[in-house]
């Protein structure tokens, strides 16, 4: 029985095996000394589960992913959620005959291109970069117009929770906050990756107090509706 993956679009293929007793998983690429398959995005991984010797012809084998049965439709699409997953092959009716391997998919931070962002003056600016990668990035930096963002001058704050790096400023001003921002993540094995944000500030629009205005309209509408309804009732009588 075989599990095959192409990382990102993991394709899962199944071949049924016939005999039993213990089971062995053969993998391409081979597992390391810890039982882990090291691979990368876009590479194909195949897992073949074979019974060791044995008899009992139509014995079924079963694949589990993190302890849950994998439904072996011909083409199972699985994403990066398989990263770190442990695949176990076992005999369907003998839980003691098992073998397991773990997948470790390496991938670069998914940062590229540029995005246009427009913010109204005096409102809040928030930009974020997805920095999730395997191995984790070693550092993230933000620049504005090509030089490191001056956190103090612009009243910026930067946070990083390991998945996302966020830069924000509470009240933006054209002279301090407009320009081209860039986040750059350094990966220990994939080098640096970055994404740009072209931020333009728009003039502050006059804010009419909208809620009281809408509330007023609603009152007028229902008053008219009631008037019409009561007149209608009188006409019908």
Q: Which residues bind ligand NAG (CB under 6 A)?
A: 21-22, 36, 38, 94, 96-97, 104, 106, 134-135, 144-145, 176, 178-179
Q: How far is the CB of 138 from ligand NAG (least distance, A)?
A: 11
Closest chain position to ligand NAG (CB): 179
Residues 6+ apart with CB under 8 A from 65: 82, 85, 86, 87, 88
Specify the pairing of strand 36-40 against strand 94-106. Answer: parallel
Q: Which is nearer to ligand NAG, 75 or 170 (CB)?
A: 170
- Closer to ligand NAG by CB, 93 or 159: give it: 93
Shortest reach from residue 141's CB to ligand NAG, in Å: 17
Least CB distance from residue 71 to ligand NAG, whole Å?
24
Bridge partner list, 206? none
Is the CB of 58 or the CB of 74 nearer to ligand NAG? 58
Nearest distance from C-beta of residue 179 to ligand NAG, angstroms: 3
Phi, psi of 218 (to 5 degrees): -65, -40
Residue 22 in contact with residue 94, Cβ under 8 Å? no
Give the tokens for residue 142.
Answer: 């933000």
Task: Measure the CA–CA gap between 59 and 57, rounded to whole angstroms.
Answer: 6
If the CB atoms of residues 2 and 178 are measured against ligand NAG, the closer one turns out to be: 178
52, 91 Cβ separation under 8 angstroms: no
């Amino acid at each position: 029985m075989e599990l095959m993956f192409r990382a990102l679009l993991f394709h899962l293929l199944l071949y049924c095996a016939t005999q039993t007793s213990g089971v062995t998983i053969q993998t391409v690429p081979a597992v390391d000394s810890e039982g882990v398959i090291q691979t990368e995005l876009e590479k194909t991984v195949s897992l073949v589960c074979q019974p060791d010797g044995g008899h009992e012809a139509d014995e079924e084998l079963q694949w589990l992913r993190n302890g849950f049965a994998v439904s072996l439709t011909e083409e199972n699409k699985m994403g990066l959620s398989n990263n770190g997953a442990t695949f176990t092959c076992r005999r369907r009716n003998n839980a003691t005959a098992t073998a397991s391997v773990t997948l470790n998919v390496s991938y670069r931070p998914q940062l590229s291109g540029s995005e246009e962002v427009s913010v109204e003056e005096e409102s809040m600016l928030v930009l974020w970069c997805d920095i999730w990668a395997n191995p984790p990035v070693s550092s993230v930096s933000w620049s504005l117009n090509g030089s490191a963002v001056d956190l103090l001058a612009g009243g910026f704050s930067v946070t990083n929770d390991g998945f996302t790096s966020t830069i924000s400023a509470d009240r933006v001003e054209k002279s301090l906050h407009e320009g081209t921002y860039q986040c750059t993540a350094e990966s220990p094995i994939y080098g640096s990756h970055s994404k740009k944000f072209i931020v333009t500030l728009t003039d502050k629009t006059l804010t009419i107090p909208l809620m009281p205005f809408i509330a007023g309209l609603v009152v007028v509408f229902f008053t008219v509706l009631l008037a019409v309804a009561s007149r209608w009732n009188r006409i019908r009588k």
